[in-house]
Structure 1
């Protein structure tokens, strides 16, 4: 009797475990993402107001308005990514645009010498739109990958733990290197800084493409469910009707607003309150460095207390830390720097939890919705990344608005400007009290989330 011909290899069952090599390759994409998130978030507002002479309110709009496009584009790309995944069995085609993101980074800071004020803002805003579109093409399918894998609840946390570590490498490297490379404060310094980091971003995107392929080969690919919705508006309605997912998204919107306000404010604090711009790199290192060890610790702890409790704790610590910055930033000299440094390190540990738990809970929400027959992973991720993009813009905008209300005076690199006591007070309140209030709102939304599995 002739043996039957072998069929195609069976896909791994749900509960598969990814190899470290595949996880490392996949997570490498977060290095470039970390650079794009960090550098504009940390330096672009300061670059506009204190190098290009753009008024604070206009500078805030320059960062906010391009993100309005993202709110529309990200859900569209999420739905398109789902269609691509059903048609071709992967999401890598859109991701290839991410290789060009480095070029947008270089152009963003290469403002022609003849441009200052509003024309310079127009240049920066235009390239910011281009960069955000390229970033979205990469980010949406990249972050949807864990939702496509045939893995379980805790393995999803493990996947995001690897991503969090490499994301932290990108955040930390950019957070230290970018201020250090541009510390002289000239336009040429910012342009050279951006060019160096652009190379890192391009390499990261190429490696990530290979990692996504390997990860889906090892863990299996679960195509998105076609039952829920057939258009972007339908996908958005499905996502918004999901009570737990809606609470998670709204919470992360305020979380992202808070953390990016912190990043945008930091160069102003070091320049005007501590009178030493070199401290920006130091504080960023202290803020992001703890995440390298805190991520694995948070992962282990989540098995005992659950992701929801871990995220609520991270939010509470970050809010308390923001208020604790007030006395440190009010002190002069070494005591003020020391107190601020200690608080920033604690906030960095909380920041690691904010990122790890929030992102690892998205696939959990997707899995729960798919079990009910009402989810598309790409659509959910598109809504998520739109909320994230909104937070990255609203945070600096809120801080710019606080500066404008305080009477902050913009300047160019060649023409320093003195700030009034009112402007300095606004600078401090925007760095401490405002983020604490925003994170408190995030915590209130997060308390409505009810999908956490029992540890």
Structure 2
């Protein structure tokens, strides 16, 4: 068994602390920041977020292609992680500094432009970072352990993001200036953690084989069936999480009439998630990565539907309790996709003799962002259709829309994910056969519906 040192695992994992500050800021707060602080109508705020992510259709695959073909003294991925850190810091600060401009059209253009800039800066750092995973170890279980460290940092970063936003905004006293401070602090943390990873890890020697063309590279990526199953499962996973996290502040503010409960609910969910990550690694060794992933989705469905059915009747204590149940699902869902992904990449590399990690992670990150932004945009459109108006008592239709977005809508998405991931064919036995030069990946009984 190939073992990595704890130092390597810690050095690799710490960058995801900053990365999940980004996902927290965008998933939990971007829509609310644009509607309630910048002053955009909900539909246009959702549209701006969706356009910003659509831009990633260009930048994510391109960054993966570029990093695969980069050859430097310090490796293929590390230059982008190190030198992309400062632009990422500046772009985050810029987005969360609300502009002093008037007019809905001008604000919409500003939102789209700054989101495209921020997403590009994140892509330059995150695609090479994610592409490091299969290069650090080829061992089936060691990848699960490596990603356990990574997502321990990830949950810690998300907890910081969830716990610090409102206190920072309130400490400043002015909501617009407060969000600017949030952008400054979060951007600085992202930059520092990326630099720490960049100087801590060492890449394997890159292959000297002649690079493939762009379209041939991605043609192979989209023919990798195991990869596609876990890819689109992860897209559904992030879509559901984006519905829950993005609507939570609206639910607390307008259903329970206490926006401050948002921080408590987020922290409760994420503290439980942090505790559950190492447990999920143990469970994964017992029942498999795929079954662990499906179990995570089941906990999330229970939590979301319970909030929909009883939260508005029983009260905020019940809602926070159900966020704890959802937190079990969030914790169990952190590691499996990022342990399954490099297995699918490694099997393809074994069969073809070529490594395309950057291309795979470019598509992975784009599709993940597509799921997140699609959910956020749909939230904006649904709120607009329900006649949502910020900072006033909501109508029955807007309250119902908020409840649907916290319960049935993410639950339907999660059930679809449970079904889709069932078709992922690589378990431990299949992986060992593939690595032993047997080119046909066989399915175990676990993969039978």
**Closer/same/farther in 2, CA of residues 407 and 185 from structure 1, 3 Å limit:** farther
- Superposed CA deviations along residues 323-363 of structure 1, whole A, max 9, x for unmatched, are 111133322xxx41111111111111211222210111111
Give the distance between the partners of 1:137 and 1:353, measured in 2 at CA: 28
Question: For residues 120 and 182 of structure 1, what CA distance do their matches in structure 2 show?
Answer: 21
Other-structure match for 1:450:
425
Matches within 5 A, 1:177-256: 177-183=164-170, 186-213=175-202, 216=203, 221=204, 223=206, 226=209, 230-256=212-238
**What is the distance in 1 between the residues matched to 2:309 and 2:31?**
25
Equivalent-residue separation in structure 2 for 1:351 and 1:376 (angstroms): 29
Alignment of 1:27-426 (within 5 A): 27-84=13-70, 89-95=75-81, 96-115=83-102, 117-183=104-170, 186-213=175-202, 216=203, 221=204, 223=206, 226=209, 230-331=212-313, 335-373=314-352, 375-409=355-389, 411=390, 416-426=391-401
**Residue matched to 2:440:** none
Deviation at residue 32 of structure 1 after TM alignment: 0.8
How far off is 1:418 after superposition?
3.5
Q: Structure 1's 90 and 431: CA in aligned 2 closer, same or farther, altered over 3 A?
A: same
Classify 1:153/1:307 alpha carbon distance in 2 versus 1 (closer, same or farther; 3 Å). same
Change beyond 3 A, Cα 1:86–1:378:
farther
Shift of 1:86: 8.7
Q: Is contact 1:74-1:136 (8 Å) kept? A: yes
- SS of aligned partner of 2:55: helix
Q: Supply the distance in 1 between the matched residues of 2:201 and 2:24 (Cα, whole angstroms).
A: 23
User: Is the contact between residue 27 and residue 211 of structure 1 (CA under 8 Å) also seen in structure 2?
Assistant: no
Tell me how far apart the structure 2 counterparts of residues 88 and 207 of structure 1 sit (CA, whole Å).
Answer: 14
- Greater Cα shift, 115-124 or 430-439: 115-124
Measured against aligned partners, the alpha-carbon deviations of 1:96-125 in whole angstroms (never above 9, x if no partner) come to 213321211111111223346332232222
- Residue 425 of structure 2 aligns to a residue in which SS? coil
Query: Which deviates more from structure 2 when the two are superposed, residues 416-425 or residues 135-144?
Result: 416-425
* CA–CA separation in structure 2 for the residues paired with 1:352 and 1:232: 36
Structure-2 change in CA distance of 1:375 and 1:209 (3 Å):
closer
Q: Aligned-pair distance for 1:179?
A: 2.5
| Distance verdict in 2 for CA 1:243–1:209, change over 3 Å | same
Give the whole-Å Cα distance in 2 for the aligned partners of 1:174 and 1:209: 22
Task: Give the secondary structure class of the aligned counterpart of 1:418.
Answer: coil
Displacement after TM superposition at 1:422 (Å): 0.8
Cα distance in structure 2, aligned partners of 1:203 and 1:196: 11
Distance 1:71 1:93 in 2: 23
TM-score (norm 2): 0.90
Normalised by the size of structure 1, how large is the TM-score?
A: 0.89
Greater shift after overlay, 107-116 or 127-136? 107-116
Give the CA deviation at 1:198.
2.1
Q: Does the Cα contact within 8 Å between 1:180 and 1:278 map onto a contact in 2?
A: no
CA contact (8 A) 2:21 2:158 kept: yes
> 1:89: Cα distance to partner?
3.9
CA RMSD of aligned residues (A): 2.0
CA drift at 1:226: 4.9
TM superposition shift of 1:262: 1.2
User: Alpha-carbon deviations, 1:64-111, whole Å to 9, x = none?
Assistant: 001011122111111111111599643111222133212111111112
Identify unmatched segments of 5+ residues in structure 1.
Answer: 1-14
Change (3 A) 1:226 1:395: farther
Deviates more, 1:399-408 or 1:320-329: 320-329
Encode CA deviations 1:272-292: one digit per residue, 9 max, x unaligned: 111111111111101111122
